[in-house]
Chain A
Protein backbone atom coordinates (compact mmCIF):
# COMPACT_ATOMS: atom_id res chain seq x y z
CA UNK A 1 0.00 0.00 0.00
CA UNK A 2 1.31 3.39 -0.96
CA UNK A 3 -0.18 6.65 0.23
CA UNK A 4 -0.77 8.80 -2.82
CA UNK A 5 -2.35 11.89 -1.38
CA UNK A 6 -4.27 12.99 1.67
CA UNK A 7 -6.38 15.84 2.90
CA UNK A 8 -7.88 16.56 6.31
CA UNK A 9 -10.69 14.00 6.03
CA UNK A 10 -9.56 11.77 3.25
CA UNK A 11 -6.81 9.83 1.61
CA UNK A 12 -6.09 7.83 -1.50
CA UNK A 13 -3.75 4.87 -1.42
CA UNK A 14 -2.50 2.60 -4.17
CA UNK A 15 -2.60 -1.16 -3.71
CA UNK A 16 0.10 -2.66 -5.94
CA UNK A 17 -1.04 -6.25 -5.40
CA UNK A 18 -4.60 -5.55 -6.45
CA UNK A 19 -3.79 -2.95 -9.10
CA UNK A 20 -6.27 -0.52 -7.63
CA UNK A 21 -6.80 2.49 -5.41
CA UNK A 22 -8.59 2.90 -2.13
CA UNK A 23 -10.12 6.24 -1.39
CA UNK A 24 -11.22 6.82 2.18
CA UNK A 25 -13.31 9.83 2.96
CA UNK A 26 -14.85 10.53 6.37
CA UNK A 27 -14.64 6.90 7.37
CA UNK A 28 -16.05 5.44 4.18
CA UNK A 29 -13.84 3.37 1.90
CA UNK A 30 -14.21 3.24 -1.86
CA UNK A 31 -12.25 0.80 -3.99
CA UNK A 32 -11.50 1.92 -7.53
CA UNK A 33 -9.53 0.44 -10.37
CA UNK A 34 -7.56 2.83 -12.56
CA UNK A 35 -10.43 3.25 -15.02
CA UNK A 36 -12.98 4.12 -12.38
CA UNK A 37 -10.52 6.47 -10.75
CA UNK A 38 -10.00 8.32 -14.03
CA UNK A 39 -13.75 8.33 -14.63
CA UNK A 40 -14.34 9.64 -11.13
CA UNK A 41 -11.81 12.41 -11.63
CA UNK A 42 -13.38 13.41 -14.97
CA UNK A 43 -16.74 13.52 -13.24
CA UNK A 44 -15.40 15.68 -10.41
CA UNK A 45 -13.68 18.00 -12.91
CA UNK A 46 -16.99 18.83 -14.55
CA UNK A 47 -18.42 20.42 -11.40
CA UNK A 48 -17.94 24.17 -11.44
CA UNK A 49 -17.51 24.90 -7.75
CA UNK A 50 -17.33 28.66 -8.21
CA UNK A 51 -20.66 28.62 -9.97
CA UNK A 52 -22.13 26.43 -7.24
CA UNK A 53 -20.85 28.82 -4.57
CA UNK A 54 -22.33 31.85 -6.26
CA UNK A 55 -25.65 30.20 -6.94
CA UNK A 56 -28.65 30.98 -4.72
CA UNK A 57 -30.41 27.80 -5.66
CA UNK A 58 -30.61 25.57 -2.60
CA UNK A 59 -30.44 22.33 -4.55
CA UNK A 60 -26.79 23.07 -5.18
CA UNK A 61 -25.91 22.63 -1.52
CA UNK A 62 -25.68 18.88 -1.92
CA UNK A 63 -24.17 16.94 -4.77
CA UNK A 64 -24.65 13.27 -5.53
CA UNK A 65 -21.73 11.80 -7.39
CA UNK A 66 -21.95 8.33 -8.88
CA UNK A 67 -18.98 6.07 -8.42
CA UNK A 68 -17.82 2.93 -10.27
CA UNK A 69 -20.71 2.67 -12.72
CA UNK A 70 -23.24 3.81 -10.15
CA UNK A 71 -22.49 0.93 -7.79
CA UNK A 72 -22.13 3.52 -5.07
CA UNK A 73 -22.75 7.19 -4.61
CA UNK A 74 -21.01 9.97 -2.80
CA UNK A 75 -23.28 12.58 -1.29
CA UNK A 76 -21.24 15.67 -0.60
CA UNK A 77 -21.85 19.16 0.68
CA UNK A 78 -20.16 21.96 -1.15
CA UNK A 79 -17.40 22.13 1.43
CA UNK A 80 -16.79 18.41 1.08
CA UNK A 81 -16.83 18.75 -2.70
CA UNK A 82 -13.98 21.22 -2.51
CA UNK A 83 -11.98 18.84 -0.36
CA UNK A 84 -12.68 15.76 -2.49
CA UNK A 85 -11.82 17.72 -5.61
CA UNK A 86 -8.46 18.62 -4.10
CA UNK A 87 -7.95 15.07 -2.93
CA UNK A 88 -8.60 13.54 -6.34
CA UNK A 89 -6.80 16.16 -8.38
CA UNK A 90 -3.82 16.07 -6.02
CA UNK A 91 -3.74 12.29 -6.28
CA UNK A 92 -3.63 12.43 -10.06
CA UNK A 93 -0.73 14.89 -9.97
CA UNK A 94 1.15 12.50 -7.69
CA UNK A 95 0.36 9.57 -9.99
CA UNK A 96 1.63 11.51 -12.98
CA UNK A 97 4.74 12.37 -11.01
CA UNK A 98 5.18 8.66 -10.32
CA UNK A 99 4.94 8.00 -14.06
CA UNK A 100 7.67 10.56 -14.68
CA UNK A 101 9.86 8.99 -12.01
CA UNK A 102 9.34 5.57 -13.56
CA UNK A 103 10.16 6.92 -16.97
CA UNK A 104 13.29 8.75 -15.86
CA UNK A 105 14.68 6.09 -13.57
CA UNK A 106 13.57 2.75 -14.96
CA UNK A 107 12.88 3.25 -18.62
CA UNK A 108 15.71 5.69 -19.26
CA UNK A 109 18.13 2.79 -18.78
CA UNK A 110 16.64 0.96 -21.73
CA UNK A 111 18.34 3.24 -24.20
Chain B
Protein backbone atom coordinates (compact mmCIF):
# COMPACT_ATOMS: atom_id res chain seq x y z
CA UNK B 1 0.00 0.00 0.00
CA UNK B 2 1.38 3.39 -1.05
CA UNK B 3 2.12 6.07 1.50
CA UNK B 4 -0.17 8.65 -0.10
CA UNK B 5 -0.37 10.74 3.01
CA UNK B 6 3.36 11.37 3.24
CA UNK B 7 3.51 12.21 -0.45
CA UNK B 8 1.17 15.15 0.04
CA UNK B 9 1.64 16.22 3.63
CA UNK B 10 5.01 16.79 5.24
CA UNK B 11 3.77 17.57 8.74
CA UNK B 12 1.61 15.41 10.95
CA UNK B 13 -2.00 16.35 11.55
CA UNK B 14 -1.54 16.80 15.30
CA UNK B 15 1.33 19.26 14.76
CA UNK B 16 -0.66 21.14 12.10
CA UNK B 17 -3.40 21.56 14.65
CA UNK B 18 -0.98 23.06 17.16
CA UNK B 19 0.49 25.37 14.55
CA UNK B 20 -3.00 26.58 13.71
CA UNK B 21 -3.56 27.23 17.38
CA UNK B 22 -0.38 29.28 17.39
CA UNK B 23 -1.69 31.24 14.40
CA UNK B 24 -4.67 32.13 16.54
CA UNK B 25 -2.50 33.15 19.49
CA UNK B 26 -0.43 35.47 17.29
CA UNK B 27 -3.59 37.00 15.83
CA UNK B 28 -4.92 37.55 19.32
CA UNK B 29 -1.63 39.14 20.36
CA UNK B 30 -1.79 41.43 17.34
CA UNK B 31 -5.33 42.53 18.27
CA UNK B 32 -4.40 42.95 21.94
CA UNK B 33 -1.46 45.21 21.06
CA UNK B 34 -3.68 47.28 18.82
CA UNK B 35 -6.05 47.89 21.74
CA UNK B 36 -3.07 48.84 23.92
CA UNK B 37 -1.82 51.25 21.26
CA UNK B 38 -5.23 52.91 21.17
CA UNK B 39 -5.24 53.30 24.96
CA UNK B 40 -1.75 54.85 24.91
CA UNK B 41 -2.80 57.21 22.13
CA UNK B 42 -5.84 58.34 24.12
CA UNK B 43 -3.68 59.00 27.16
CA UNK B 44 -0.98 60.85 25.23
CA UNK B 45 1.75 58.25 25.73
CA UNK B 46 2.96 58.75 22.18
CA UNK B 47 6.06 56.59 22.31
CA UNK B 48 4.26 53.71 23.93
CA UNK B 49 1.50 53.98 21.36
CA UNK B 50 4.07 53.75 18.57
CA UNK B 51 5.69 50.80 20.34
CA UNK B 52 2.41 48.89 20.51
CA UNK B 53 1.45 49.70 16.91
CA UNK B 54 4.75 48.20 15.85
CA UNK B 55 4.27 45.18 18.10
CA UNK B 56 0.84 44.68 16.62
CA UNK B 57 2.15 44.45 13.07
CA UNK B 58 5.02 42.23 14.19
CA UNK B 59 2.52 39.79 15.67
CA UNK B 60 0.66 39.77 12.40
CA UNK B 61 3.91 38.95 10.63
CA UNK B 62 4.45 36.07 13.06
CA UNK B 63 0.98 34.85 12.25
CA UNK B 64 1.62 34.99 8.50
CA UNK B 65 4.94 33.18 8.89
CA UNK B 66 3.15 30.28 10.58
CA UNK B 67 0.27 30.46 8.14
CA UNK B 68 2.53 30.08 5.10
CA UNK B 69 4.49 27.27 6.72
CA UNK B 70 1.30 25.27 7.36
CA UNK B 71 0.18 25.77 3.77
CA UNK B 72 3.59 25.01 2.31
CA UNK B 73 3.73 21.74 4.24
CA UNK B 74 0.43 20.60 2.73
CA UNK B 75 -1.62 21.36 5.82
CA UNK B 76 -4.79 23.39 6.03
CA UNK B 77 -4.14 26.83 7.49
CA UNK B 78 -7.15 28.21 9.31
CA UNK B 79 -7.86 31.93 9.34
CA UNK B 80 -8.44 32.55 13.03
CA UNK B 81 -11.46 34.07 14.74
CA UNK B 82 -10.19 36.59 17.24
CA UNK B 83 -12.05 37.33 20.45
CA UNK B 84 -12.32 40.87 21.78
CA UNK B 85 -9.25 42.25 23.51
CA UNK B 86 -8.89 44.18 26.72
CA UNK B 87 -9.12 47.89 25.95
CA UNK B 88 -9.50 49.42 29.43
CA UNK B 89 -6.42 49.83 31.57
CA UNK B 90 -5.91 51.61 34.88
CA UNK B 91 -2.36 52.73 34.17
CA UNK B 92 0.50 52.60 31.70
CA UNK B 93 2.19 50.08 33.96
CA UNK B 94 -0.83 47.81 33.76
CA UNK B 95 -0.64 47.95 29.99
CA UNK B 96 2.95 46.69 30.00
CA UNK B 97 2.21 44.11 32.67
CA UNK B 98 -0.62 42.73 30.55
CA UNK B 99 1.68 42.72 27.53
CA UNK B 100 4.29 40.72 29.43
CA UNK B 101 1.72 38.24 30.61
CA UNK B 102 0.56 37.72 27.02
CA UNK B 103 4.11 37.25 25.80
CA UNK B 104 4.80 34.69 28.52
CA UNK B 105 1.74 32.71 27.43
CA UNK B 106 2.93 32.82 23.84
CA UNK B 107 6.39 31.63 24.89
CA UNK B 108 4.89 28.70 26.81
CA UNK B 109 2.83 27.71 23.81
CA UNK B 110 5.85 27.87 21.50
CA UNK B 111 7.92 25.77 23.88
CA UNK B 112 5.14 23.21 23.95
CA UNK B 113 5.17 22.97 20.16
CA UNK B 114 8.94 22.52 20.09
CA UNK B 115 8.61 19.78 22.67
CA UNK B 116 5.88 18.05 20.62
CA UNK B 117 8.04 18.29 17.51
CA UNK B 118 10.83 16.49 19.31
CA UNK B 119 8.50 13.76 20.52
CA UNK B 120 7.29 13.26 16.94
CA UNK B 121 10.71 13.48 15.31
CA UNK B 122 9.52 16.46 13.30
CA UNK B 123 12.88 18.16 12.95
CA UNK B 124 11.82 20.50 10.16
CA UNK B 125 9.06 22.08 12.20
CA UNK B 126 11.28 22.18 15.26
CA UNK B 127 13.86 24.05 13.25
CA UNK B 128 11.19 26.39 11.91
CA UNK B 129 9.94 27.07 15.44
CA UNK B 130 13.42 27.94 16.73
CA UNK B 131 13.05 31.35 15.11
CA UNK B 132 10.05 31.96 17.36
CA UNK B 133 11.90 30.76 20.44
CA UNK B 134 14.55 33.39 19.82
CA UNK B 135 11.98 36.06 19.05
CA UNK B 136 10.25 35.42 22.37
CA UNK B 137 13.48 35.89 24.31
CA UNK B 138 13.78 39.33 22.72
CA UNK B 139 10.20 40.36 23.22
CA UNK B 140 10.06 39.29 26.85
CA UNK B 141 13.34 41.07 27.53
CA UNK B 142 12.18 44.37 26.07
CA UNK B 143 8.93 44.47 28.01
CA UNK B 144 10.65 43.39 31.25
CA UNK B 145 13.18 46.16 30.84
CA UNK B 146 10.41 48.72 30.36
CA UNK B 147 8.70 47.42 33.51
CA UNK B 148 12.01 47.93 35.34
CA UNK B 149 11.72 51.64 34.60
CA UNK B 150 8.45 51.78 36.51
CA UNK B 151 10.23 50.27 39.52
CA UNK B 152 13.14 52.63 39.19
CA UNK B 153 11.29 55.88 38.50
CA UNK B 154 7.91 55.41 40.13
CA UNK B 155 4.62 56.46 38.60
CA UNK B 156 4.23 60.18 39.17
CA UNK B 157 3.34 62.15 36.01
CA UNK B 158 6.89 63.32 35.31
CA UNK B 159 8.26 59.79 35.65
CA UNK B 160 5.56 58.41 33.37
CA UNK B 161 6.54 60.94 30.73
CA UNK B 162 10.18 59.95 31.08
CA UNK B 163 9.35 56.27 30.89
CA UNK B 164 7.23 56.84 27.80
CA UNK B 165 10.12 58.61 26.13
CA UNK B 166 12.43 55.69 26.79
CA UNK B 167 10.07 53.00 25.53
CA UNK B 168 11.16 53.25 21.90
CA UNK B 169 14.84 53.01 22.79
CA UNK B 170 14.84 49.62 24.48
CA UNK B 171 16.34 46.84 22.43
CA UNK B 172 17.78 43.44 23.03
CA UNK B 173 21.44 43.14 22.16
CA UNK B 174 22.96 39.69 22.33
A interface residues with partner B (beta carbon < 8 Å): 2, 14, 16, 19-21, 34-35, 38-39, 41-42, 45, 92, 95-96, 98-99, 102-103
Name the contact of A14 in the complex, choosing from B4, B12, B75 (C-beta under 8 A): B4
**A38–B12 Cα gap in the complex (Å)?**
11
- Residues of chain A within 8 A (CB-CB) of B3 are 98-99, 102
Chain B's interface: helix, strand, loop or mixed, by majority?
loop
Question: Given the known A-B contacts A39-B76, A42-B76, A42-B78, are A34 and B2 also in contact in the complex, defined by CB atoms under 8 Å?
Answer: no
Q: Which of A16, A20, A39, A42 has the most CB of B within 10 A?
A: A42
Name the contact of B4 in the complex, choosing from A39, A95, A103 (C-beta under 8 A): A95
> How would residues 1 to 36 of chain B score, 1 for a CB under 8 Å from any chain A CB and 0 otherwise?
111111111001100010000000000000000000
CB within 8 Å: A-B pair count:
45
Are A14 and B2 in contact, CB atoms less than 8 angstroms apart? yes
Are A102 and B13 in contact, CB atoms less than 8 angstroms apart? no
User: How many residues on chain B are close to A (CB under 8 Å)?
Assistant: 16
Are A19 and B76 in contact, CB atoms less than 8 angstroms apart? no
Are A34 and B12 in contact, CB atoms less than 8 angstroms apart? no
> How would residues 71 to 91 of chain B score, 1 for a CB under 8 Å from any chain A CB and 0 otherwise?
000111010000000000000
**A92–B3 Cα gap in the complex (Å)?**
12
**A92–B13 Cα gap in the complex (Å)?**
9
Question: Given the known A-B contacts A42-B76, A92-B13, A96-B13, are A35 and B4 also in contact in the complex, defined by CB atoms under 8 Å?
Answer: no
**A42–B1 Cα gap in the complex (Å)?**
24
- Chain A's closest residue to B75 (CB) is A38
Question: Given the known A-B contacts A34-B7, A99-B6, are A16 and B1 also in contact in the complex, defined by CB atoms under 8 Å?
Answer: yes
Are A38 and B1 in contact, CB atoms less than 8 angstroms apart? no
Are A34 and B4 in contact, CB atoms less than 8 angstroms apart? yes
Are A38 and B2 in contact, CB atoms less than 8 angstroms apart? no
**A102–B7 Cα gap in the complex (Å)?**
12
Q: How far is the CB of A64 from chain B (nearest CB, A)?
A: 19
